[in-house]
Structure 1
Amino acid sequence: MPKNGFTTTIIHSDRRSNDEYGAIHVPMHTSVEYAFSDSRELAAVFQGKPGFTYARQGTPTTAALEAKLTQMEEGAGTVTFATGMAALTATFFSLLKMGDHLICSQHIFGNTNSLLGTLAGLGVDISFVDATDAANVRNAWRPQTRMVFTETLANPGTQVADLQGIGDFCGEKNLVYVIDGTLTSPILFKGRNVGASLVVNALSKHVGGHGNALGGAVTDTGLYDWADYPNIAEPYRKGKSTSWGLTQIKKKGLRDMGGTLSSDAAHRHATGAETLALRMHRICDNALSLADHLSALPKVAKVYYPGLDSHAQHERATSLFGGRYGGLMGIELAGDIDVFEFLNRLQVLVLATHLGDNRTLVLPVAHTIYYEMGPERRAQMGISDNLLRVSVGIEDIEDLIEDFNQALAHS
């Protein structure tokens, strides 16, 4: 069969898996336990043969979604989790030990920053660097360094990491390179193209897209050989060494930590993924038009969006993301505007804390998702009290522009 395009492949993924009765969607398998007619077969699955024993470690429905995600990332395998944070937790806690060193972008999601604080409390040394320049990653390296982590697109400042430069360095030092691709999704960027070892996606964002299910995933690109990685436990050093890391993440993250994705949520993400390309293209087009419009208004002090020529990493984003720039932007209102009064005047945009939805969502950054960091850390990150985070949706662009116009007119 000839290789199909992205959307064709995903739409027909379930049908081509020879599901029972010719179903075009893998059904929701809700059974917790799975019976065997042969005790030897039961033992074989426990010892590593593909199969299902207990729903905490996956179901046929989650497996079908994992196959889709592997296709989307052009990877070697995927494990799904209950949330994106569960996916990150499983990755860090499964692969790092006390005394290890992690190099991390300083421009990361607030909850991820909190998670890394917990990890540091358990003895993992973490260096936060400006990942927009790979030289900063290189300068932070030490013999104990095991992993480098960054996001493709920072939230909410929209900084674009030097993904290729970091990948080249990780290849030189044989470091595990973990990329959170949530804000770009596999339709704009694939981590394997810059040498990533693992790619994390919060499925509740663009992949699912409809704001109706939580979920996360870790995809192994197949590029990293885990044979020389010191933290792989002996029971998982079986079969091809390129699969050992994902096996350990699955065993620790699902069996031990219990961060399991439900079959219901997996089914929702699998069907949502079918329209990812269509939704993402519309979102990107809307976001660029909105950013262009807002950047010309006197009551808007600054627009942070990689699609603008004024963005510090505009050329890099164009090269990495194929001329589309995602749906996230930061909008800093003029200092004399009451940010809360402005937000309360909006009629189309939704005041909500989420990203990658069909609807356009907005919130005040300093007062919500970055409140716990305190004013000093926010100042270091360039987060002012009048900074808004906007996750652009698929509405008619004229309605989004008019909603901003009318709210600003009374501010």
Structure 2
Amino acid sequence: MNNEHPSTRILHSDRRGGVEHGAVHKPSHNAVTFGYPTARDLADVFQGGKSGFVYGRQGNPTTAALETKINLMEGAVGTVTFATGMAAISAMSLALLNQGDHIIASRYLFGNTASWLDTLSRLGVAVSLVDATEVGAVAAALRPETRFIFVETIANPGTQVADLAGIGRLCHEHRLLYVVDNTMTTPVMLRGHDVGAGLVVHSLSKSISGHGNALGGSISDTGIYDWTAYPNILPAYQGGPPHSWGLLQIKKKGLRDTGGTLSAEQAHRIAIGAETLDLRVERASSNALALARWLEGQPRVRRVLYPGLPSHPQHLRARELFGGRSTGRFGSLLSFELREGIDPFALLDALRIVVKSSHLGDNRTLALPAAHTIFFEMGPDKRQSMGISDGLVRVSAGIEAEADLIADFARAFSSLDA
């Protein structure tokens, strides 16, 4: 079974792990509390000497089954799930950082993540935002009190591709924790382990779930980082093997203390969605590339941002990192900027198939005016520094028929003439 493709192993992981009554899926365990035959058994579970579940806030059999699937996807040694991707990022930060610490992050971060880093800075954590497409910019920001470096694989909505491998080598050289948000690429296109990441973040609500019917997030430990080098691990979590220290502290001080728990029902939905991830990423990437190529030929479009296009600044890097040379998988996210004077609202309102929505990684194609929605709170100066103009339209390609998608955009552009 070790020679099987990851998608095959994920598809059959529930039944191979043992499921009641011969079911092929792990059921949804909604119990909040778990009982044991003896008080000693309960104490052993509390102290980590015996596997089991203590209280629903810290997980249950359904979330554990999902964590097993994510481990298979990422080739990770352990995973903790959360109620949302932002719950995962905030819990990890609170668990691993102290006042006076310093972190380095990409300046092209997703809006809510950037907002969270602003909150951290108000709590006494120094944050340096740099151009993560250049490893030199990251290196120049290093300080003695730097605790970790945080980047996204593909930035939203500008599609900048960070120098993931170069930053990984830098972190290895300096024994720094490297945290990669792999939401936009998923393990189908890239595994955090392959670029040297110690921790991998996912918003499970996006492509891994895929159906727009569940919220969830996760943190996975790839086993690469030496946690004995991390100064903020508390003595209570240094008793077991060192490779487990970081994730244990995240689970105890992050998940348990802040309570951002993934429900069993949501975990079950995400686990079912994950079974078709490989197929959906292939179709959505193909649609995104076809649409991006078509948009490049439209006179009302000033530029198209998609890593699969040769015109993209990091196209060659994307081909190397994401396997695009052979598979054509560059992800579902693309953006395009309309020429001055073209109203993005008029164009979007003319679309019949594409849904006007803020979500990503859905089976349906979604689009929105980025400056007026997800980046509105940042203000014009911050948006300008990130290259987000008022005419920028973000698209998350779905799995519809390619011809139907292009025809929908063609109708919308034609409607502008009227």
TM over 0.5: yes
Q: CA deviation at 1:224?
A: 0.8
For 2:13, what is the secondary structure of its paired residue? Answer: coil
Task: Quote the Cα distance in structure 2 between the aligned partners of 1:396 and 1:114.
Answer: 36
For 1:366-385, list aligned pairs within 5 A. 366-385=371-390
Question: Residues of 2 paired with 1:44 and 1:11: CA distance?
Answer: 33
Higher mean Cα deviation, 202-211 or 401-410? Answer: 401-410
Whole-Å separation in 1 of the counterparts to 2:240 and 2:360: 38
Distance 2:133 2:51 in 1: 41
RMSD: 0.8
2:218 corresponds to 1:213: no
Give me the whole-angstrom Cα distance separating, in 2, the residues matched to 1:347 and 1:320.
35
After superposition, give the CA deviation of every residue in 1:64-123 in whole Å (9 maximum; x if it has no partner).
Answer: 000000010001000000000000001111111111110000010000000000001111
Give unmatched runs, 5+ long, in structure 1: none
- The answer for the alignment partner of 1:14 in structure 2 is 14
Instruction: Find the counterpart in structure 2 of residue 44 from structure 1.
Output: 44
Hey, what does 2:190 align to over in structure 1? 189
Q: Identity of counterpart residues, as a percentage?
A: 57
- Runs (4+) of structure 1 exceeding 3 A deviation are none
Return the offset for 1:315: 0.4
Q: Report matched runs for 1:296-311 at 5 Å.
A: 296-311=297-312
| Cα distance in 2 for residues equivalent to 1:368 and 1:378 | 12
1:32 maps to 32
1:325 and 2:330 matched = yes
Q: Which residue of 2 aligns with 1:240?
A: 241
For 1:343, the aligned partner's letter is: L
**Aligned residue type for 1:404:** F
Give the match for residue 316 of structure 2. 315
- Residue 273 (1) aligns with residue 274 (2): yes
Report the counterpart of residue 260 of structure 2 in structure 1.
Answer: 259
Give how far 1:146 is off.
0.8
**Residues 240-262 of structure 1: CA distance to partner in whole angstroms, max 9, x if unpaired?**
10110000111122210000000
- Equivalent residues, number: 411
Moved more, 112-121 or 223-232: 223-232
Structure 2: gaps (5+ residues):
none
Deviation at 1:228, TM superposition (A): 2.2
**What letter matches 1:42 in structure 2?**
L
| Cα 1:2/1:79, change in 2 over 3 Å | closer
Secondary structure of 1:390's aligned partner: strand
User: 1:338 Cα shift?
Assistant: 1.2
User: After the TM superposition, which residues 68-107 of structure 1 pair with which residues of structure 2 at under 5 Å, given as runs?
Assistant: 68-107=69-108
TM-score (norm 2): 0.97
| Residue identity in the other structure for 1:354 | H
Match of 2:353 among 348, 353, 356: 348
Work out whether 1:112 is the aligned partner of 2:113. yes
Name the SS of the counterpart of 1:12 in structure 2.
helix
- For the pair 1:409 / 2:410, whether they are aligned, the reply is no
* Structure 1 equivalent of residue 393 of structure 2: 388
Cα deviation, 1:320-343, whole Å, max 9, x if unaligned, reads 000020000111112111111111
* Aligned partner of residue 8 in structure 1, secondary structure: helix
Q: Does 1:293 align with 2:294?
A: yes
What SS does the corresponding residue of 2:310 show, helix, strand or coil?
coil
